[in-house]
Copies of this chain bind each other. A is one copy, B any other.
Amino acid sequence: MNIGIVGYGNLGRGVEYAVRKNPDMELVAVFTRRNPADVKIQTENVPVLKIDDAKNWQNKIDVMILCGGSATDLPKQTPFFAQMFNVIDSFDTHAKIPEHFAAVDSAAKNSNHVAIISVGWDPGLFSLARVYGNAILPDGKDYTFWGKGVSQGHSDAVRRIAGVKNAKQYTIPIDSALEAVRSGKNPELTTRQKHLRECFVVLEEGADAQKIEHEIKTMPNYFIDYDTTVHFIGEEEFNKNHSGLAHGGFVIRSGNTGANNQNNHIMEFNLKLDSNPEFTTSVLIAYARAAFKFAQEKNFGCKTVLDIPPAYLAPVDAAELRAKLL
């Protein structure tokens, strides 16, 4: 399987590492909006090219991995590239998935390609956990917790405050809430009871720390409904301790069965990730294999992780899976 990458940031680099772990795949080209000469990749003898060159690679790439952002890149890139390639993206704006799906489905079906969108861990593996949980325990409740990890959106919101030079925001699940859910009590939890927010902030010279702390903690949508702690730190400490990309989370389904609903069952899926982009791209690459198999079966159009039989992710055939992993 020949793999192409569109966009070479944290995700693009992650795809490059992930391909190396899969002997049935080879990276053959990277496409960038930047000047290709300025983009240094980790793999020897793989060309870095302009996005416009992609159209000349239609017979040389089996699956193109789209590594752009969900806000502005993917809504345009995924339907565009699905006209020429089988594609995978990690579109993660939950509310806009139906609209994105429709656009990509039309492009992929018209050109006989396969597109798998919203691949990663949420949406992605967490969606799988929710669907399995709801189907198996229909009389129950879902709980999704995120973290501990960096929220890009919340970090950006803090950075936009006047006087803030740099900032990182960690979302932290509250242990007592997790334990209450795991106990099978099916608690009703408020936003404040599920997650804490912790900010590490570097101030511009002369900025008013007290005022900024108040502005963060009372920010509508982002912080007002949470217990938030704010730490002001120096730039050196910030760069040393807060440049990591760890993340994770928990999906728990708690449901009841039996003559009198007396039996409770807990299904829990959780992730603890040293590198959010490297794990996300490991998921993308596994689904690239599924896209390739769907294309070979001429099962064209847009798909999500919910449409993919688990066996399609594996590099071995179904008989070997049945013998070894079932």
Contacts and interface: CB of A to CB of B under 8 A. Distances in A.
Interface of A: 14, 17-18, 21-22, 42, 94, 97-98, 101, 118, 123, 125, 127-132, 134-139, 182, 184, 255, 257-259, 262-275, 278-279, 282-283, 286, 289, 304-311, 313-315, 318-319, 321-323, 325-326
B257 A266 contact: no
Contacts of A272: 182, 184, 265-266, 268
B322 A304 contact: yes
Contacts of A315: 135, 138
A244 B32 CA distance: 60
Contact of A319 (B98, B278, B282, B283): B98
A79 to B, nearest CB: 16
A308 B257 CA distance: 24
A263 B269 contact: no
Contacts of A14: 257
A146 to B, nearest CB: 15
Contact of A98 (B262, B263, B323): B323
Contacts of A314: 131, 134-135
A97 B101 CA distance: 38
Contacts of A321: 131, 306
A257 B286 CA distance: 14
A125 B131 contact: no
Contact of A22 (B22, B123, B138, B282): B138
B289 A318 contact: no
Nearest to A260: B17
B269 A325 contact: no
Given A135-B313, A274-B263, A306 B286 contact: no
B135 A322 contact: no
A279 B307 contact: no
Given A21-B139, A94-B326, A306-B326, A270 B271 contact: no
30 contacts: A17-B259, A21-B139, A97-B322, A101-B322, A123-B326, A128-B132, A131-B313, A131-B325, A132-B313, A134-B325, A136-B282, A136-B283, A182-B272, A184-B272, A184-B274, A255-B282, A257-B275, A257-B278, A258-B275, A264-B274, A265-B274, A265-B282, A266-B271, A266-B272, A266-B273, A267-B271, A268-B269, A305-B310, A306-B322, A307-B311
A322 B305 CA distance: 10
Contact of A271 (B265, B271, B311): B265
Nearest to A132: B310
A165 B255 CA distance: 36
A132 B264 CA distance: 26
Given A123-B326, A136-B286, A283-B136, A131 B311 contact: yes
Contacts of A94: 326
Contact of A308 (B123, B255, B263, B309): B309
A289 B101 CA distance: 25
A181 to B, nearest CB: 11
